Amino acid sequence: MGRPGTAALLPAAPGPETGPSRWTAAEARARIRAGLAAPTAGTAAGFTQANMVSVPADWAYDMLLFCQRNPKPCPVLDVTDAGSWRTVLADAADLRTDLPRYRVWEHGEIVAEPTDVLAHWRGDLVTFLLGCSFTFEWALLAAGVPLRHVEQGRNVPMYVTDRQCRSAGRLSGPMVVSMRPVPAGRLTAAVTRSAMMPSVHGDPVHIGDPAALGIADLARPDFGDPVDAEPGDVPVFWACGVTPQAALTASRPPFALTHAPGRMFVTDTRDEQYRVA
């Protein structure tokens, strides 16, 4: 039986005593294994979330170098041994089953979007877990910065920019950003709170005119859902861990696995471990 549809399972706005924000990381992963396929924004408050990309071992050095050269969109939290589906970020988790939805890539094309990758797993895969901006959203909320995508029950909007990442071996491609509309009076809070967590993308890469990033229309994100801004909101753009997927599209390795955008791996690591101030 397939997993339930996304619309009915989107996390509610953080706060309810029994809602997704109150789940532990282990509870969230258990629900995901049981069929929850929704975006993970607003889920398991206080637990770090991570992007995932798995590549064959002969591409692993290229990916590691790509992340090292582009730390803003690709901050590395863990790298597994070849073939391993375990991570120190959540000892009991299974990276083949514990994300809400995956993407299977062949030669730069998405060929499937399953809810587990047991049938696609290979013994030569090296998995990279990268910081995710969902992690600092709790700090934004605590500072009075609203999260419009969570309020509206939507996935965060993400856009491919015209800013090219620094290439690494066979990998190259543009930076991807996530966008959150922020009230003008809360911009300083949004910048300072996210800057305290550089391992999950840190401070924004741009504030204001999307055209400066080569984004033509905020209503048409490349990934995720469009979000309605409120009067006085300003678009704020953070580097995004979907960037390696843009590199897969551009560089066309023979095989890869990734998370589906917005559907992250919920780790057992606490957010404060990545806070620098």
Per-residue pLDDT tens digits for 160-215: 999 999 999 999 999 999 999 999 999 999 999 999 999 999 999 999 999 999 99
**Residues 107, 145 within the same domain:** no
- Each residue's pLDDT tens digit, 150-171: 999 999 999 999 999 999 999 9
- Structural domain boundaries, residue 173: 136-243
Q: Decide the pairing of beta strands 256-259 and 47-56.
A: antiparallel
Give me the CATH number covering residue 200: 3.30.2040.10
How is residue 271 written in tokens?
A: 């957010």
Q: Which of 134, 193, 187, 188 is nearest to 14 (CA)?
A: 134
Give me the CATH number covering residue 113: 3.40.1640.10
**Residues 23, 127 within the same domain:** yes
Query: Model pTM?
Result: 0.90
Mean pLDDT, consecutive 10-residue stretches, the chain (277 aa), reads 35 53 96 94 94 98 98 98 98 97 98 98 98 94 95 96 98 98 98 96 97 98 97 98 98 98 96 88
- List of residues 6+ apart from 138 with CB closer than 8 A: 14, 45, 46, 271
**Residues 128, 141 within the same domain:** no
* Element of type H or E holding 103: strand 102-106
Are the C-beta atoms of residues 38 and 260 closer than 8 Å to each other? no
What's the domain count of the chain? Answer: 2
Q: Give percent of the chain with pLDDT exceeding 70.
A: 93
**Is 225 a domain residue?**
yes
**Is 142 a domain residue?**
yes
How is residue 91 written in tokens?
A: 């000892």
**Is 148 a domain residue?**
yes
**Residues 193, 156 within the same domain:** yes
Distance, in Å, from the CA atom of 215 to the CA atom of 211, rounded to the nearest integer, reads 5
Amino acid, res. 89: L
Are the C-beta atoms of residues 248 and 33 closer than 8 Å to each other? no
Are the C-beta atoms of residues 134 and 264 closer than 8 Å to each other? yes
